[in-house]
Chain A
C-alpha cells in the first residue's frame, strides 16, 4: 500500500548500489589499464547517444520487465519462481506457432491470439510446479528449475522435428504479417512491446494491491496459516500464483517473437532473460515500478557492453562485473546503509521498539 517513504528509502539504497557498482567497474577498468571515462562514455552513448540506440535500449529492456514481473509477482505471494526462463521459452514457441499457423486473420485478432498462446504456454509451465507444490508439497524452486530444462529440450526437439519450418535451420516458419507487433518509428525496431510491458507492470500493481484476489495471494505469501484461518483456499492460490507468474514470463517470450524475432529460434542454451529477471526483481524490491526501473538498468548495461569493447577496448566482461556488483550491494543492504550515513540514520528509526 502506501508506505511510500519506505519505498523511497529502498530507492536510495538501489541508487547507492548502482553508484558503488560503477565504482567497482572503474577499478577494474583501471586495472586493465584503460580509460574509465572513455569506457563509461561509450556505455552511455550506446543507449542515449542516438535515437536508434535508445530504441534498442527499449528492446533490450522489454523482456526483462516481463521476467522481472514474473519473479516479483511470485515472490510477493511467497513463492520463488526460478522458472521464468523456461516459461519465457515456451511462450516464445507458443506465440511463434500461433503466428504462422492461423491464417487469414486481421491483425486486431491475430496479434492478441498469438500473444494469448504465449501467455497460455507460460501459464501452463508455471502452473505445473504450482500444482505439485500445492498437492504434494514439492518445492517450487527445484521444480521450476527442472521445468526450465524441459522447456529447453522440448522446444529443441519440436523445432528440429515437427515444427521445423526451414530446409536446414532449426527454426519455425516466420510468423505472418498480421501477427507482427506494430513498429512505430520507421527505420528502427521500436515497437509497442514496451507499452505492453508497462501495461503488465500496471496490471501487476493493480492486481496485487487493489483486488480481492491479490489480497488473498499476498495473505498466503505472508502467512498461509492465517490466510487459511481467514477462509482462503491456500493450495488453490499457490497454483493461481504460479500460473500468473508463468503467464507474465510467457507473454514476455511472445512479445519478443512477435516484435523482433518473427520466428522461434532453437535455443541451444538458456538465453538468460529469466535468470536476469530474478536480479531485476531483486533490484526493484519486487515492486512493479522497481522492476521497470531495474529492467531499464540491466537493459542499459547489456546494451553498452559491446560498444565499450569496440570503442574503448574494455573487455565486455567488465559490464558483467558491474551488474554483479550492483546485485551484491543491493543484497548487502545493511552494508550500503553503513557506507552512506544518511541512510543508516533513517534505518535506525524504524527498529525502535514502541
Chain B
C-alpha cells in the first residue's frame, strides 16, 4: 500500500535550534497516526511544514506517492491536506455555515448561495455524525462545537488527510469522547488522521500507530497496540517517568481553610455558588472534582479575593478573611496557581524576573520605599530559575517567549516560594507535557508533606484521583459529596459530578 503522506529526511532549523532533524514520517490510508512528543519537541514544526506554512531546509514530501513542494497552504489544501489548529481560526459573529464556506463560497451569479452552503454543511455534518447546526453563531456554541466547525471546514475543502493539532487541549472529558467517535467515523470513510498530542492516554485510546519525536528527532515508530503508556512516556521524555505519584501516608493536621455557606454570583450576575461548605486541613491535598462550569472558577475567585461573595464566611486558620482584597488574602497566606496562566497568572510582556515578584514586588527585599531593587529581584529570579528548573537562557527573557511548561513553572515557583499556608492549584497541569506534569505534581505533594494545605481544582479525574487525600465533588454551585480518596473511583466520581444524588454513606462521610 502506498502511504498517503510520506515525509523523508525533513530538516528545519531556527536560529539556535534544530527543530526537525532528519525526520521521517509515514501515514497509511485510513490510519489514525499519533505524533507524540513533549512541548517544543518539533511536532508542530513538522506539521506546519506538511501544511506548507514553513519551508523545510532539507527533505522531501510525498502525498499519495507523488512528490510535492509545499510552498504554501493552498498547495497542501489542493493535495487534500486539512489542518485544525489548536487555536481556532473562526469569526465569532458569523454563523457556522458562513465560517465554513468562507473563502470558497458557493455562488449564484454574483451572489452568495447561502442555501447551497447550508445544504453542503448539513450533508457533511450528517455523514460524519458531527451534529452541528449550520445556523448557529460561532460565538454562541461551545469550544467542542467550534472544533467541529474547523473539522467540517477542512472536509468542505476536500481534505482526505486531517491534521489535528492538540485537539483535546481545550475539551472537556465528555467532548474528548465525542471527538474520538468523530475521528473513528472519519477513518471509516477512508480519511487519514494525524493527531498531534503529548497525552499518552489519547495516543493509547485513539491511535493505530504512533511516531515519537524527541528534540527534533524521531525516536520511535510503534504500533499502538504493541506498546504501553509507560513505554511511550519513557521514549518521549528520554528517561523513566513515574506516571503514578509517590505519596506517603500522612495524618492531616488542623483545619487551615474553612468555608461556611458561601454564596457568589458569576460574571452574568446569576448565582454560581449556592452555599459551599468545605474544609481543607494542613498536610492534605483536597481535590475538587466537577464538570467545568459548576462554580469552580467562582469559588477560586472568591477565595482569592478576585470576586466578592454575596453571603457566607471564609476562615483561614480561624481568621475571617471573607472580605479581604486579593493583596491582603495573599499576604494572609494564600498561594494561587490560576487556572488560566496566560490570562491571570503571568504578564507575558514582563520578564521572568518581573513575573516572579508579581505578588511581592512591594515588599522587602525587592523594594525599599518606592524604589524597586533590581539586583535583589534578579538574584531572586536566578535562584528560582535554578531551584524550579525553569528552562531559559536568562531571567530577562519575556514570559511570553517561554513554553507552556516553563510558564507554569514560573507560576509554581512564585506561589510555592512565598510559602503559603494554603495553596490553591487550579488546573495546574493543563496543556503541560508528561515531564512538566510530573514536576508540578511532585511540587504539590511536597507542599502537602511540608504540612501545608493544598486545594486542587482539576477537570482531569486522573489528576484528582492520583494526588488527593480527600475528594470533594462540586455540582451546580454546591459540594455534593466529600469522599476519602481511597474509596473514590472514576465511576463513583463521574456519577456524582453528573448530579446523581449522593448515596447515604457518602453523606455520612462528610459529617
* Interface membership of A210, Cβ < 8 A: yes
- A233 to B362 alpha-carbon distance, docked (Å): 13
* Interface membership of A223, Cβ < 8 A: yes
Tell me the smallest distance from the CB of B25 to a CB of chain A, in Å.
Answer: 19
Is A231's CB under 8 angstroms from B348's CB?
A: no
Is B14's CB under 8 angstroms from A210's CB?
A: no
What per-residue 1/0 map shows which CB atoms of B140-184 lie under 8 Å from chain A? 000000000000000000000000000000000000000000000
Is A228's CB under 8 angstroms from B361's CB?
A: no
In the complex, what residues of B have CB within 8 A of residue A233's CB? 325, 327
Stretch at the interface among B199-207, B243-251, B367-375: B367-375
In the complex, what residues of A have CB within 8 A of residue B347's CB? 219, 222-223, 226-227
In the complex, what residues of A have CB within 8 A of residue B336's CB? 229
Stretch at the interface among A296-304, A331-339, A346-354: A346-354
CB-nearest residue of chain A to B398: A3
* Interface membership of A189, Cβ < 8 A: no
The count of residues in chain B whose C-beta lies closer than 8 Å to any C-beta of chain A is 38
Is A354's CB under 8 angstroms from B372's CB?
A: no
* Interface membership of A167, Cβ < 8 A: no
Q: A211-B370, A212-B361, A352-B15 are in contact. Are A225 and B326 (CB under 8 A)?
A: no
Contact for B372 among A210, A222, A223, A231, CB less than 8 A: A210
Which of B17, B344, B401: most chain A CB closer than 10 A?
B344
* Interface membership of A109, Cβ < 8 A: no
Stretch at the interface among B59-67, B349-357, B465-473, B503-511: B349-357
Is B344's CB under 8 angstroms from A354's CB?
A: no
- A232 to B17 alpha-carbon distance, docked (Å): 38
* Interface membership of B239, Cβ < 8 A: no
Contact for A226 among B304, B345, B372, CB less than 8 A: B345
Is A352's CB under 8 angstroms from B16's CB?
A: yes
Contact for B370 among A213, A223, A348, CB less than 8 A: A213
Tell me the smallest distance from the CB of A3 to a CB of chain B, in Å.
Answer: 7
In the complex, what residues of A have CB within 8 A of residue B330's CB? 231
Is A354's CB under 8 angstroms from B370's CB?
A: no
| CB within 8 Å of A: which B4-43 residues | 14-17, 19, 40
- A214 to B330 alpha-carbon distance, docked (Å): 21
Tell me the smallest distance from the CB of B424 to a CB of chain A, in Å.
Answer: 12
In the complex, what residues of A have CB within 8 A of residue B15's CB? 348-349, 352
| CB within 8 Å of B: which A219-257 residues | 219, 222-223, 225-233
In the complex, what residues of B have CB within 8 A of residue A228's CB? 306, 326
In the complex, what residues of B have CB within 8 A of residue A354's CB? 14, 16-17, 40, 401, 403
- A222 to B400 alpha-carbon distance, docked (Å): 12
Is B40's CB under 8 angstroms from A219's CB?
A: no
Is A1's CB under 8 angstroms from B345's CB?
A: no
Is A229's CB under 8 angstroms from B370's CB?
A: no
Q: A1-B396, A226-B343 are in contact. Are A212 and B370 (CB under 8 A)?
A: yes
Count, A-B residue pairs, CB within 8 A:
85
- A228 to B307 alpha-carbon distance, docked (Å): 11
Tell me the smallest distance from the CB of B121 to a CB of chain A, in Å.
Answer: 34
- A263 to B45 alpha-carbon distance, docked (Å): 66
* Interface membership of A2, Cβ < 8 A: yes
Is A211's CB under 8 angstroms from B325's CB?
A: no
* Interface membership of B81, Cβ < 8 A: no
In the complex, what residues of A have CB within 8 A of residue B19's CB? 353
- Chain A, interface size category, equals 20 to 34
* Interface membership of A44, Cβ < 8 A: no
* Interface membership of B194, Cβ < 8 A: no
Which of B351, B361, B401: most chain A CB closer than 10 A?
B361
* Interface membership of B359, Cβ < 8 A: yes
In the complex, what residues of B have CB within 8 A of residue A212's CB? 361-362, 367, 370-372
In the complex, what residues of A have CB within 8 A of residue B359's CB? 230-231
* Interface membership of B474, Cβ < 8 A: no
In the complex, what residues of A have CB within 8 A of residue B371's CB? 210-212
In the complex, what residues of B have CB within 8 A of residue A353's CB? 14, 19, 45
In the complex, what residues of B have CB within 8 A of residue A216's CB? 361
Is B17's CB under 8 angstroms from A225's CB?
A: no
Q: A1-B396, A352-B14, A352-B17 are in contact. Are A229 and B354 (CB under 8 A)?
A: no
CB-nearest residue of chain B to A226: B347
* Interface membership of A28, Cβ < 8 A: no
Tell me the smallest distance from the CB of A104 to a CB of chain B, in Å.
Answer: 36
In the complex, what residues of A have CB within 8 A of residue B346's CB? 223, 226
* Interface membership of A343, Cβ < 8 A: no
| CB within 8 Å of B: which A58-81 residues | none
* Interface membership of A215, Cβ < 8 A: yes
* Interface membership of B338, Cβ < 8 A: yes
Is A226's CB under 8 angstroms from B396's CB?
A: no
Is A2's CB under 8 angstroms from B372's CB?
A: no
Contact for A229 among B17, B306, B351, B396, CB less than 8 A: B306
Tell me the smallest distance from the CB of A211 to a CB of chain B, in Å.
Answer: 5
- A354 to B400 alpha-carbon distance, docked (Å): 11
What per-residue 1/0 map shows which CB atoms of B245-273 lie under 8 Å from chain A? 00000000000000000000000000000
* Interface membership of B241, Cβ < 8 A: no
* Interface membership of B358, Cβ < 8 A: yes
Tell me the smallest distance from the CB of B303 to a CB of chain A, in Å.
Answer: 12
Which of A1, A229, A348: most chain B CB closer than 10 A?
A229
Is B344's CB under 8 angstroms from A226's CB?
A: yes
Tell me the smallest distance from the CB of B298 to a CB of chain A, in Å.
Answer: 15
- A225 to B306 alpha-carbon distance, docked (Å): 9
| CB within 8 Å of B: which A195-223 residues | 209-216, 218-219, 222-223
CB-nearest residue of chain A to B414: A230
In the complex, what residues of A have CB within 8 A of residue B396's CB? 1-3
Is A223's CB under 8 angstroms from B14's CB?
A: no
Is B17's CB under 8 angstroms from A230's CB?
A: no
Is A1's CB under 8 angstroms from B351's CB?
A: yes
- A210 to B336 alpha-carbon distance, docked (Å): 27
| CB within 8 Å of A: which B284-312 residues | 304, 306
Tell me the smallest distance from the CB of A186 to a CB of chain B, in Å.
Answer: 40
Is B372's CB under 8 angstroms from A215's CB?
A: yes
- A104 to B42 alpha-carbon distance, docked (Å): 76
In the complex, what residues of B have CB within 8 A of residue A218's CB? 350
In the complex, what residues of B have CB within 8 A of residue A1's CB? 351, 354, 374, 396
Is B345's CB under 8 angstroms from A229's CB?
A: yes
- A1 to B396 alpha-carbon distance, docked (Å): 9
Is A223's CB under 8 angstroms from B16's CB?
A: no
Is A211's CB under 8 angstroms from B351's CB?
A: no
Is B343's CB under 8 angstroms from A231's CB?
A: no
CB-nearest residue of chain B to A231: B327
- A225 to B396 alpha-carbon distance, docked (Å): 22
Tell me the smallest distance from the CB of B448 to a CB of chain A, in Å.
Answer: 23
Tell me the smallest distance from the CB of B373 to a CB of chain A, in Å.
Answer: 9
Please give me the 5 A-B residue pairs with the lowest Cβ-Cβ distance, nearest first: A231-B327, A352-B14, A230-B358, A222-B349, A223-B347
Residues of B within 8 A of A (CB): 14-17, 19, 40, 45, 304, 306, 325-328, 330, 336, 338, 343-351, 354, 358-359, 361-362, 367, 370-372, 374, 396, 401, 403
Beyond A212-B370, A215-B372, A228-B326, 15 additional pairs, beta carbon < 8 A: A2-B396, A215-B361, A219-B347, A219-B350, A219-B358, A223-B347, A226-B347, A229-B338, A229-B345, A229-B358, A352-B14, A352-B16, A353-B19, A354-B16, A354-B401
10 A-B pairs (CB sep. < 8 Å): A1-B351, A211-B372, A212-B371, A219-B347, A229-B326, A230-B326, A230-B358, A353-B19, A354-B14, A354-B17
Residues of A within 8 A of B (CB): 1-3, 209-216, 218-219, 222-223, 225-233, 348-349, 352-354
